[in-house]
A and B are shown apart, each in its own frame.
Chain A
Amino acid sequence: MVTPEENELLTRIGPGTRMGALMRRYWQPVGTTGEMHGKPAKRVRLLGENLVLCRNEDGAFALLEESVPRGCTRAVYPVAELGGLLWGYLGPLPAPLVPQLDGLVAEGTIRILGSAVIPCNWLQIMENSLDAVHTEWLHGHFFEFIKESEGLKISLRKKHVKIGFDEFEYGIIKRRVLEGHTEDDDDWKIGHPVVFPTTLAIGNASPEWHEYRFQIRVPVDDTHTKHYWFGAFVLPEGATAPPHLLDRVHEYETPIFAPNGDFMLDSIHGQDIMAWVTQGAIADRSRESLGSTDRGITLYRRMLLRELKRMEDGHDPKNVIRDPACNGVIVLPLEGRKAQRSDGFEALFRRHQVRYSPIAEEILAVLRSGRAPALAG
């Protein structure tokens, strides 16, 4: 539980707010190079500011303040390109480097990017990523209940025996041991990270299925979050992909509401979004009751406040990289055999929002064409 004032401090990111100042120290994705082909400009609302993504006279991208009062100078923010994505930086200059996360820069991958605007504050979405146990319920028991009303009986629940959270150089590693598994399993031994401040990395590394997956939470304003689902699929040995799958990031809009306006409760992302949105436009943390499984959340909040203080003390906060020598490929911990994915790649693929990608079937065909016995699952 936090006070209403602490909740305000943690969640509000508009111009002039303290957390907004911290978030402005990080590059935020604002689009893709592909979508800007032949398009002069695109509106971008970011951190409570109305901006326009466009090219300047040199053909380079920049972010401009959309409207400026008479007599004021129009703010211009730098834009960088990495991994087919365009990143904007709203902080003090000189801007740091865009961190080269492994999945963004891996060669020869099929890249997809789903996106949706979630009508709630960014922090409750991030906290979900520090909350290992929710999968057992929201994606387990609750999923079963939803399927029960459809007359189906499925079982996704597996009890958490143990959860763990460790700070590492780039953020927090989240670990779990599910019933019937051990600390030798990847879920515990490797875990998967939240890259500070707003990216969840949860992919899969095995010879037959090697995928990088990032969920990037970009605060639009205090009560909306642009959610990016980035996926980069490494071709299995022996597989080939047509050039059009490899030459760009394939974007799509991820539907988050059913036609009747309700949440899409028969999908993992729809379940998450139901939980996030029903917590309120800005979750009221002065009325929460945290238990022992919420210590990942507490750790993350403390880290936000610690890095805020570091910044206010005149230092660069965590994950701000300025030395090109230190900005090689950032190899994140990546699990191979996850207990929750025991029913096979294809089944998982179809449960996941990836299925809304227009190239979903092509991806499956490419991955099947390799030496990939496990894909039969």
Chain B
Amino acid sequence: MLTAEQNDRLTRVGPGTPMGTLLRRYWMPVATVGEMRDRWTKRVRLMGEDLVLFKDRSSNFGLIGEFCPHRRASLAYGIPEADGIRCPYHGWKFDGTGQCTDQPNEPAGSTFKDRIKNAGYPVSEMGGLLWGYLGPLPAPLIPRLDGFVADRAIRHVGEAIVPCNWLQIMENSLDPVHTEWLHGLLYEFIKEGEGVKVAIARHHAKIGFDEFEYGIIKRRLMEGQSEDSDDWKVGHPVVFPNILAVGSGGGLWQQYTFQIRVPVDDENTRHYWYHAYVPPEGAVVPQHLLDDVPLYEPPIVADDGSYLLEYIHGQDIMAWTTQGKIADRSRENLGGSDRGVTLYRKMLEREMAVVEAGGDPKCIIRDPAQNEYIELPLERNKDMFGDGFESLFRRHMSIFSPIAEEIIAVFAQAREARREPAGVT
């Protein structure tokens, strides 16, 4: 339980807030590279700031305040130039730093433009995503986490705006036990309503949390599992501050999953589900699957507005959004299984203090040698995913991806080639 003031301090991300100041130290994904291929601008609301991601005619990206400082028309309709973008209303031109570089109808020699500065933030590409950085310069490096840069990987990314504060979504990732209920017994109950009997819930015998260099490793031991299982021995991490990384695989292949929670504002979160699949050796992968990172929008509610409770992501989103726009932590009652949540909150408080004292908080990387390839501790043989690639894939929101069937086909072909029965890949 927190006080109302503590809850505000942990959740609010607008300019000038303590948590907004901490989160501005981290690069945040704002678009995919593919998304910007056929367009010049995209509106991006990020941590309460209305911004426009633009591409100039030299294919450089910029991230600047949406509203022209002149008379506040939207630069989302801007006219791109070789080295910046012009407001559609009166042609004022801005470069990627937000500096006004031309006011075509002011008198020659006027210095008015030199005094006009819009917000402007660096943009950089990594893993097929475009990342923006709203913090103080010089900007750190974008952590090259394994799944973003692994060789021979097929990638795609799902995106949804979840209408609640980012912190309750993150806390879900420090809460192993919820899978037993929300994705287990609730799912069984939902299926019961459809007249189908399933039994997937397994009891947590033990949970554990350890801080490591890049965040927190979360571990679980299910009833009947040994401590030698990857779920306990390896676990999977929350990469500080806002990425959940889950791995799975069968030894011959590897899947990387990142759930990236990008605060739009205090009450909305842009949720990315980023997947990278490294198929088994010898799999035949069409080149276009390796070249592009397609973006798709999985549905998060049904046509009638109800939650999609047959899907894991739909179950999560039901829990997150029913907690309220900003969950009221002054009215919660934490139990023994919530100590991962508490550990994460303490870490946030600690890192806010580091920033306030002028230091670099956790997971800020400035040395390129440290950033070539960050291999995270990830399960390889994950118990929950024991029934094989295709079966898992079809239960998952990835099935909404435009390349879903192609990915399944790649794995099916690889299995055929190895003459292995289904479910053992």
Where the two chains meet, the residues of A that have a C-beta atom closer than 8 Å to any C-beta of B are 127, 131, 133-134, 136-138, 141-142, 145, 159-160, 263, 265, 271, 274-275, 278-280, 283-284, 287-294
Contacts and interface: CB of A to CB of B under 8 A. Distances in A.
B354 to A, nearest CB: 33
Given A141-B91, A142-B88, A292-B106, A279 B73 contact: yes
A38 B327 CA distance: 55
B70 A136 contact: no
B393 interface: no
Contacts of B91: 136-137, 141
A288 B118 CA distance: 11
B70 A289 contact: yes
Given A137-B91, A138-B88, A279-B71, A291 B76 contact: no
A94 to B, nearest CB: 39
B79 interface: yes
Interface in B50-92: 67, 69-74, 76-77, 79, 86-91
Interface of B: 67, 69-74, 76-77, 79, 86-91, 103-107, 110, 112, 116
Given A137-B104, A292-B105, A293-B90, 5 more contacts: A137-B91, A291-B106, A292-B106, A292-B110, A294-B71
A274 B77 contact: yes
Contacts of A271: 88
B112 A141 contact: no
A293 B72 contact: no
B74 A293 contact: no
A132 to B, nearest CB: 9
B89 A283 contact: no
Contact of A145 (B69, B72, B74, B79): B79
Contact of B69 (A275, A279, A288): A288
B73 A275 contact: yes
Contacts of B110: 292
A142 B72 contact: no
Nearest to B110: A292
Contacts of A275: 73, 88-89
Given A278-B77, A293-B105, A293-B106, A134 B72 contact: no
A145 B106 CA distance: 22
A263 B89 CA distance: 14
A232 B72 CA distance: 34
A127 B89 CA distance: 13
A126 to B, nearest CB: 13
B72 A284 contact: yes
Contact of B103 (A138, A280, A283, A291): A291
Contacts of B105: 133, 136, 160, 291-293
Contacts of A291: 70, 103, 105-106, 112
B46 to A, nearest CB: 18
Contacts of A288: 69-72
Q: Which of A136, A263, A289, A293 counts the most chain B CB atoms within 10 A?
A: A289
A288 B71 CA distance: 5
A280 B66 CA distance: 11
B105 to A, nearest CB: 5
Contacts of B89: 134, 137-138, 275
B76 to A, nearest CB: 7
A292 B107 contact: yes
Nearest to B72: A279
Nearest to A293: B105
Given A287-B69, A288-B70, A288-B72, A142 B77 contact: yes
Contacts of B72: 278-280, 283-284, 287-288
Contacts of B112: 291-292
Contacts of B104: 137, 159
Contacts of A160: 105
Nearest to A262: B77
Contacts of A283: 71-72
B71 A278 contact: no
15 contacts: A133-B90, A136-B105, A137-B104, A138-B89, A142-B88, A145-B88, A160-B105, A274-B74, A278-B72, A278-B76, A279-B73, A283-B71, A287-B72, A289-B69, A292-B107
Given A142-B79, A274-B77, A291-B105, A137 B88 contact: yes
B38 to A, nearest CB: 9
A127 B88 CA distance: 16
B94 to A, nearest CB: 12
A142 B40 CA distance: 13
Contacts of B90: 131, 133-134, 137-138, 293
Contacts of B71: 127, 279, 283, 288, 290, 294
A134 to B, nearest CB: 6
Nearest to B71: A288
A304 to B, nearest CB: 17
A284 B103 CA distance: 21
Nearest to A294: B71
Given A141-B79, A291-B103, A291-B106, A278 B73 contact: yes
A212 B279 CA distance: 70
A326 to B, nearest CB: 37
Contacts of B67: 278-280, 287
A127 B91 CA distance: 17
A263 B73 CA distance: 13
Nearest to A137: B91
A133 to B, nearest CB: 5
Contacts of A136: 91, 105
Q: Which of B86, B104, B105, B112 counts the most chain A CB atoms within 10 A?
A: B105
A274 B67 CA distance: 13
Q: Which of B71, B76, B86, B87 counts the most chain A CB atoms within 10 A?
A: B71
A278 B74 contact: yes
Contacts of A141: 79, 86, 88, 91
Contacts of B74: 274, 278
A287 B65 CA distance: 12
A136 B74 CA distance: 17
A368 B76 CA distance: 41
A283 B71 CA distance: 8
Contacts of A289: 69-70, 116
Nearest to B70: A289
Contacts of A284: 72
Nearest to A143: B88
Nearest to A280: B72
A293 B110 CA distance: 13
B153 to A, nearest CB: 33
Contacts of A278: 67, 72-74, 76-77
A274 B73 CA distance: 8
